[in-house]
């Protein structure tokens, strides 16, 4: 990032990178749906693996490199230096708060993306082909939200960036709740599209905030801690949603629709955590600014 973008452009480069997640889901949902309907699910795995080999690896070889003007990379660091880097990363300002918020943030993405196709098909009654293209709408909204969020972050005062977590988490919660309450299946789908838009808006704020809080030479290590631990915790969200869906929908008098509604309601809990963390971060940054000497 530092090799290609100036230090004054913090939001936009993170936005461009994060757009890849939404684009992959947007293209992948209908494509995999087509493969499953036309062939079988095993074929979809084989085709996706082949695409990664034929397309993904050459793209990495062709484009993932430092620019010619960038300084040459240093050799391997001594073990004692590596230890100091790790210790320094663990001293990043608000590290625990950012890690908890990252876990809740990613939990929504992994939970929603894992169960969205099944929700549209089982709870809302769409066909497999309809499910494919409808499931691609939220990721497209995410891509748009990420782009707008990156531009917005560069225009906001640094102390107000945490408010983006608060506003967007409330927007996600309200959108998911609306989707659960809606009777019309298309209206419910569009509500989830709105939720994805809010998720995309705050997506660039996570790496941007971490880059702001960490020491410049320790950004990569700090990001590894927050994203690694956050991903590990968020990985349980699809299983938690599956348990809720099974418990509510499989019980006496239960239905598939009720189970999926309860499972998606669990996503609101992740956004409550994001909202509380965002408020705490905003309050701490305001307090820190009040006690620091003016530049």
In a domain, 177, yes or no: yes
Q: How confident is the model at residue 162 (pLDDT cuts 50, 70, 90)?
A: very high
For residue range 246-275, what is the model confidence (pLDDT) as tens digits? 888 765 545 667 888 888 889 999 999 999
Q: What is the pLDDT of residue 73?
A: 47
Torsion of CA 113, 156, 12, 284, to 10 degrees: -60
Residue 137 resides in a domain: yes
Q: Is residue 145 part of a domain?
A: yes
Is 185 a member of any domain? yes
In a domain, 6, yes or no: no
Q: Tell me, yes or no, whether 218 lies in a domain.
A: yes
Number of domains in the chain: 1
Instruction: Of 1-5, 60-64, 117-121, give the range with the top mean pLDDT.
Output: 117-121
- What proportion of the chain, given as a percentage, has pLDDT over 70? 82
> Does 213 reside within a domain?
yes
Which range has highest mean pLDDT (82-96, 99-113, 139-153, 219-233)?
99-113
Give the CATH number of the domain where residue 264 resides.
1.20.1250.20
Res 255: pLDDT? 64
Asked if residue 116 is part of any domain, the answer here is yes
Higher pLDDT, 272 or 116: 272
The structure's pTM equals: 0.78
Q: What would the pLDDT profile of 214-251 be if each residue is shown by its tens digit?
A: 887 777 788 888 988 999 999 999 999 999 888 887 65
Mean pLDDT of 60-76: 63
Q: Note the pLDDT of residue 10.
A: 57
> Looking at 4-13, 167-176, 236-245, which range is the least confident one?
4-13
Output the average pLDDT for the chain. Answer: 82
Residue 276 is part of which domain span?
Answer: 11-68+78-291
Average pLDDT for 108-112: 91
pLDDT tier at 211 (50, 70, 90 boundaries)? confident
């Amino acid at each position: 990032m530092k090799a290609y973008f100036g230090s004054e452009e913090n939001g936009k480069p993170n936005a461009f990178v994060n757009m890849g997640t939404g684009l992959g889901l947007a293209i992948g949902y209908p494509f995999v749906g087509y493969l499953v309907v036309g062939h079988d699910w095993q074929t979809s795995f084989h085709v996706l693996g082949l695409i990664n080999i034929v397309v993904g690896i050459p793209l990495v070889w062709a484009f993932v490199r430092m620019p010619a003007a960038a300084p040459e990379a240093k050799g391997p660091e001594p073990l004692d230096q590596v230890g100091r880097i790790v210790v320094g990363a663990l001293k990043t300002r608000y590290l625990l708060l950012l890690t908890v918020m990252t876990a809740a943030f990613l939990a929504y993405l992994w939970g929603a993306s894992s169960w969205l196709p099944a929700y549209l098909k089982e709870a809302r009654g769409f066909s497999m082909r309809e499910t494919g293209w409808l499931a691609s709408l939220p990721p497209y909204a995410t891509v748009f939200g990420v782009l707008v969020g990156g531009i917005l972050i560069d225009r906001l005062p640094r102390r107000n960036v945490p408010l983006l977590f608060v506003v967007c988490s409330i927007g996600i919660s309200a959108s998911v709740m609306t989707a659960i309450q809606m009777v019309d299946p298309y209206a419910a789908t569009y509500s989830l599209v709105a939720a994805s838009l809010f998720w995309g808006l705050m997506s660039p704020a996570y790496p941007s905030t971490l880059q702001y809080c960490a020491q410049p030479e320790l950004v990569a290590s700090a990001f590894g801690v927050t994203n690694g631990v956050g991903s590990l915790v968020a990985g349980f969200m699809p299983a938690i949603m599956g348990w809720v869906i099974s418990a509510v929908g499989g019980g006496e008098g239960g239905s598939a629709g009720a189970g999926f509604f309860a499972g998606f309601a669990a996503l609101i809990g992740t956004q409550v955590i994001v909202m509380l963390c965002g408020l705490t971060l905003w309050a701490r940054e305001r307090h820190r600014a009040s006690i620091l000497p003016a530049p």
